[in-house]
Structure 1
């Protein structure tokens, strides 16, 4: 099969998100300029440099998360895990109100940024906004943005540090696949580079 992206695949569902996998979930918490908390998952997310460490996520539409980051310059990336899967999914809705409360999640304070983090998450990245890149469509209209943040602090639950390393398999992070599919990272193996 071959298709040009402008023409579409002809399949019932777009296969693009099923090919670029697994994608970590950026479970992003922010505060509005007036201090209202927001929490939402983004599957177009990853880490891109370090040190200094940078993360980025794609926002389809000017959602509360993006508007809050533009207004305050801060956000937190919380690790979405298998035990938190239902709460993470609950925060993906477009309802008004505090998503922490809607999902039954406790907030924990951060040290260098104002937005709260998910207390039950085993890891969180405190971030300061670096840059937002508009991603135009063919007609020039922009409804997607790439949001880049610099990581300024890291939280790790001590129970997941073993022999000086993060036991990521024990955390059971979620990964987004295509369609309505997810994966849990719990089978890890090592392979050294030959150099």
Structure 2
């Protein structure tokens, strides 16, 4: 099938877009309101977008509590959502009023960060302490609810030592979860490796590739 993504005339019972860009990492974002209340919320439009220095981004449909807090305080933490914490992560997605501590609602433990003020989730094996860099507002069909992209620079990284084995992080052992379409999620339990081709490999492949035939 093909459909016009602007008209969104797919004819299906639910918009398939989120079921096509999968799996998506979950940014489990902890922040502080200017008055000091803790906020914790999951965002499925999340990813790493830089390596030197490291940057992460998450996108929100409108200026939700996380975005407002981060723009005001300039700090946040990305906590890894895992299989063992899936129910707690889901609880923190509830649309509660500002000032309600989702960490407490989900029975999670706030742990002090080293370089930023918002706490991290003590139960997660990975937390990224971030300094706010900028907000990018993307056009939306609903002007009252713009697509808001928040970018932060990673300034501190917490890793549970139990998952560092032979000098490498055993990501699969953490069982990170990812967002798929509809109400669906995925969990990483195994990985495979592939060596990236070198420039020499690329030249060799080009030499033996069939030449296009002139029409």
Structure 1-normalised TM-score? Answer: 0.97
Partners of 2:109 and 2:121 within 8 A in 1: yes
User: For residue 4 of structure 1, what is the aligned residue in structure 2?
Assistant: 4
Larger radius of gyration: 2
For residues 1-195 of structure 1, the aligned pairs below 5 Å read: 1-8=1-8, 9-96=10-97, 97-138=100-141, 142-195=145-198
Alpha-carbon offset, residue 143 of structure 1? 2.0
What do you get for the CA RMSD once the two structures are aligned?
1.1
CA distance in 2, matches of 1:181, 1:146: 23
Alignment gaps of 5+ in structure 2? 199-215
Structure 2-normalised TM-score? Answer: 0.88
Paired positions, count: 195
Partners of 2:78 and 2:127 within 8 A in 1: yes
CA distance in 1, matches of 2:40, 2:107: 12
Query: Which SS does the other structure have where 1:77 is aligned?
Result: strand
CA distance in 1, matches of 2:143, 2:126: 38
Q: When you count strand as a share of all residues, which structure comes out higher? A: 1
Please list every run of at least 4 consecutive aligned residues from structure 1 whose deviation after the TM superposition is greater than 4 angstroms: 138-142
Partners of 1:169 and 1:185 within 8 A in 2: yes
Alignment gaps of 5+ in structure 1? none
**CA, structure 1 residues 53+63, in 2 after alignment: closer, same or farther (shift >3 Å)?**
same
